[in-house]
Amino acid sequence: MGIKQFIGYALAVLASLVVSAQGSDFAFYKLSLIWPTSACYPLANCKTPIPTFFTIHGLWPTFANDTAVPAYGPNNRCHANPVGPDAAVARLTPIQDRLNQRWPNLRAGVENSVFWRHEWQNHGMCSDYPQDPLSYFNDTLNLATSTKFDPFKALGVQPSNTPYLLNTLLQNVYKNVGAYPQILCSQRTGGALYLREIRFCLTRTNKTPPSVVQSCPTRVAGGCRDPLTNNVHFPPAS
């Protein structure tokens, strides 16, 4: 191997190590929960019956600047040999009934397992569970169904046909949980905002599952803009 080729090879190896380190050096997780009544618009896009509780979107490794860790791939070897997506889904049989109920794919015509595969490939493989998808999904289920992260209790309100001031919801969560969430809004024709997801942020520690709640760096997302002026619909279940 010539000197130029050797230098090129060394630089490529160094670059891959840097990428890998960056991909695994995240700061916190986002536990993202969906309000199906808002997400299923128009209704024909979703399976019926529509769940009357918040369902799980995912548990996402996130950098301190509030950007998601990229999916595992050639440019992000965050772990040496994580379990692949197909193998991960195959290991979920012991909790499949709970997953079907609490972590469904809401979209009509799409199997739930497609959603789980997507979440593992895009988030789980670069989490602190690279070899243990069963624990990743089970811990997420337990967090999402815990009293601590019950969205209704956290938000301090019930679904209503009357919209809520976005800042009221944020302040309620801070009061009830001890930290600010991130609220994602969807915007419909005419500009009306709908609460689509609530996301709780949990500090990454040297233990799993994550349990230390922290304020999310960015409190609003999607169509939400100004907490002090935005009114948000939180519609009753259909």
**13 occurs within a structural domain:** no
Q: Residue 192 belongs to what domain range?
A: 28-233
- Position 154 scores a pLDDT of 98
Domains identified in the chain, total number:
1
Reference 127, options 5, 235, 24, 231; nearest CA is 24
**15 occurs within a structural domain:** no
pTM (whole model) above 0.85: yes
**4 occurs within a structural domain:** no
- Position 149 scores a pLDDT of 98
Name the one residue in this structure whose structure tokens are 């772990």.
79
Q: Which residues of the chain have pLDDT under 70?
A: 1-23
- Position 17 scores a pLDDT of 41
**158 occurs within a structural domain:** yes
**10 occurs within a structural domain:** no
**37 occurs within a structural domain:** yes
Question: What residues contact residue 78 under an 8 Å CB cut-off, 6+ apart?
Answer: 20, 23, 24, 69, 72, 125, 126, 130
Burial of 197-206, coded b for 16+ CB within 10 Å and e otherwise, reads: bbbbbbebee
CATH of the domain at 192: 3.90.730.10
Helix, strand, coil % (nearest 5) of the chain?
40, 20, 40
**3 occurs within a structural domain:** no
- Position 97 scores a pLDDT of 98
Give me 147's structure tokens: 């009293």
**238 occurs within a structural domain:** no
Q: How far apart are CA 185 and CA 166, in angstroms?
A: 10
